[in-house]
Amino acid sequence: MRRLLVVALFALGVVPAGAAHALPSSPTPRPEGTVAAGFTDSVVTAGVATPTALVAVPDGRVVVLQKTGSVRIIKNGAMLPGAALTRTVCSDSERGMLGVALDPQFSANGLVYLYYTRPSAGAPGGCVNRVSRFVMTGDTISAASEVVLLDNIGSPAGNHNGGDLHVGNDGYLYVAVGDGGCDPRGNSGCAGGNDAAQDRSLLNGKILRIDRFSGAPAPGNPFGGGGTEACATRGNTAATPTTICREIFALGLRNPWRFAFDPNTGGTKFFINDVGQNTREEVNLGVLGANYGWPEREGQCAQGQNPLCPPPAAGLGYTQPLTDYPHNPANGGDYITGGAFVPNGAWGSDFDGGYLFADGDPGKIFFRNAAGNTNYNTPFVSGVGGITDIEFVMEAAGWALYYVNAATSEVRKVTWATSPAASPGALAYDALSPARRAFDSRDAGAATGPLRAGTSRLVNLAAGQGAHRAALVNITFITASSDGFVVAWQPRTSRPPSSNINGQGGQVAANMSVVPIDTDGNVLVFSSVTADVIIDVI
């Protein structure tokens, strides 16, 4: 095995005496109004009937699902005329083509994961939910490549299917499943009386974690040993065995329609958006073995109650939400939908560490800041009734927030006005000591882990900008399995049109660059493929 020997020397470019090269003034908009100040809302493409979900492809394309069973591709800002894939689905009620995820090594293996509702004549309600893996080549997904990972998940009432899925930084596939609307066993009830989310022998009302290649329960899931088994395809009916399902990661959810992983870390951190019954909508932290309390709990309260309300009894072991809001169009909504973490360094600094989450009626996008506060009276975006999913997409100029709206049959985006970084002018080389390695994704504490394909990371190179305007850095690019590139630039400015380094699959490449830094001494680093990245300041 080859080892890298990298010498870390610290130096920064200094503006010569008498030259005044201040950084461009970067506005720090705060969420308020129809679209927050400094942002614009525009159409990406129209005429997309009943869009349900979307995911960004690292090369700039966007995959969009249609409820009626089609998978569509947006390329160069336009919807391609034909479907990449069409499946026969149940599309009544809340059923249909519901969720999509890409493999971390998508650029090498083309793997796509889909969650959809299929006909099943013998199942309660006549339909079941399935999770399958497919292979995408070019702009087409091969129907013949389907590998079923989970199947026969109950959808007895047609609603509360959940339907989201993502690959975590731990490499496992996470799947959100709703409680089915009515108990698939038929031994409790429907709506608020349905206790399927607490039945550990059913997959309904849970977050599942499985091997993304085989569908086997992930090692380390909370339930294993005697009295448990793999439940991947055994079905959720009255006749289902009562042995506990090993696929369960967390339980006690009503309808976790969407959840999102934080791309700003190599760790596995995610938030779950769970749709409430009649009173409250909630956002939960994804925690191994957590029980979020449905149907006993709805938001921070007992089902059917609003604050002020007592917390759950400690002995019940329920996990309370990070934030929740009432069914009220003035300072809340009616059903929570998509969620996305803001890429650090993309927008104003107020947004770093923040989380955006949408509500479909009356149509808002709320912002939870890094301190955990949400101002429900001033949403980040309003007037987007019918919004079903949101996702950050890297465009030529930088990050844009895409969203799909089933009410208007549109894909739209919210963008922040950025400008290219100001030229630092003539620089003098100022070697500093001691030597310092600024960033190594293989050794980043709790954030250790490669940069995922199509994500960025805010990297600190110095304690502050001071008199310095740029850094001379050596970027080492350790690609996993496919060709790719890295771009580094000044945070909160437009992404440069060229890369800093290109690498071949399975190889190690390094290159020196001069990169402008911001007032905090940071740079923003984007990788087109899943890879480890090292940054040394020279």
Element (DSSP H or E) covering residue 74: strand 70-75
Indicate whether 426 and 411 sit together in one domain: no
Angle at 108 between CA 106 and CA 109, to 5 degrees: 65
Q: How far apart are CA 66 and CA 61, in angstroms?
A: 16
- Show Cβ contacts of residue 370 under 8 Å, excluding neighbours closer than 6 positions: 352, 353, 354
Which pLDDT value is given to residue 13?
36
Which pLDDT value is given to residue 76?
94
Element (DSSP H or E) covering residue 471: strand 468-479
- Contact call for residues 306 and 320 (beta carbons, < 8 A): no
Indicate whether 409 and 439 sit together in one domain: no
Which pLDDT value is given to residue 28?
36
CA separation, residue 304 to residues 191, 251, 297, 329, 360 (Å): 12, 20, 8, 17, 20
Indicate whether 369 and 443 sit together in one domain: no
For residue 228, being part of any structural domain is answered with: yes
Beta strand spans in 256-408 (E):
258-261, 270-274, 280-285, 297-298, 301-302, 323-326, 336-341, 355-359, 364-368, 381-382, 387-395, 398-405
Q: What confidence tens digit (pLDDT) does each residue in 335-375 have?
A: 999 999 999 999 999 999 999 999 999 999 999 999 999 99
The residue out of 398, 416, 434 marking a domain boundary is 416
- Contact call for residues 380 and 368 (beta carbons, < 8 A): no
Closest by Cα among 269, 318, 312, 314 to 289: 318
Say how many domains are in the chain. 2
The residue out of 389, 416, 443 marking a domain boundary is 416
Indicate whether 389 and 520 sit together in one domain: no
Q: Domain limits at 256?
A: 43-416
Indicate whether 19 and 69 sit together in one domain: no
For residue 88, being part of any structural domain is answered with: yes
Max Cα distance, the chain (Å): 82
Cβ atoms within 10 Å of 1's Cβ, excluding its own: 2
Indicate whether 426 and 344 sit together in one domain: no
Q: What confidence tens digit (pLDDT) does each residue in 443-486 have?
A: 988 889 999 999 999 999 988 777 788 999 999 999 877 999 99
Closest by Cα among 257, 253, 112 to 194: 253
Taking only the tens of pLDDT, the chain with its 538 residues reads 222 222 222 333 333 323 222 222 333 333 333 888 899 999 999 999 999 999 999 999 999 999 999 999 999 999 999 999 999 999 999 999 999 999 999 999 999 999 999 999 999 999 999 999 999 999 999 999 999 999 999 999 999 999 999 999 999 999 999 999 999 999 999 999 999 999 999 999 999 999 999 999 999 999 999 999 999 999 888 889 999 999 999 999 999 999 999 999 999 999 999 999 999 999 999 999 999 999 999 999 999 999 999 999 999 999 999 999 999 999 999 999 999 999 999 999 999 999 999 999 999 999 999 999 999 999 999 999 999 999 999 999 999 999 999 999 999 999 999 999 988 788 888 876 666 899 999 998 888 999 999 999 999 998 877 778 899 999 999 987 799 999 999 999 999 999 999 999 999 999 999 999 999 999 999 999 999 999 999 8
For residue 294, being part of any structural domain is answered with: yes
Indicate whether 384 and 510 sit together in one domain: no
- Contact call for residues 160 and 179 (beta carbons, < 8 A): yes
Indicate whether 495 and 458 sit together in one domain: yes
Cβ atoms within 10 Å of 138's Cβ, excluding its own: 8
What CATH number is given to the structural domain containing 487? Answer: 2.60.120
The tokens for 513 are: 């660059």
Indicate whether 390 and 471 sit together in one domain: no
Tokens 């614009």 — which residue? 40
For residue 3, being part of any structural domain is answered with: no
For residue 37, being part of any structural domain is answered with: no
What CATH number is given to the structural domain containing 317? Answer: 2.120.10.30
Closest by Cα among 481, 470, 468, 347 to 414: 347
Hey, what amino acid is at 141? I
Indicate whether 412 and 425 sit together in one domain: no
Q: How far apart are CA 451 and CA 534, in angstroms?
A: 11
Which pLDDT value is given to residue 400?
97
- Contact call for residues 250 and 316 (beta carbons, < 8 A): no
Element (DSSP H or E) covering residue 266: none
Which pLDDT value is given to residue 435?
63
For residue 158, being part of any structural domain is answered with: yes
Indicate whether 377 and 523 sit together in one domain: no
Hey, what amino acid is at 374? T
For residue 36, being part of any structural domain is answered with: no
The residue out of 367, 383, 416 marking a domain boundary is 416
Q: How far apart are CA 101 and CA 487, in angstroms?
A: 24
Indicate whether 199 and 266 sit together in one domain: yes
DSSP type of residue 107:
H
For residue 180, being part of any structural domain is answered with: yes
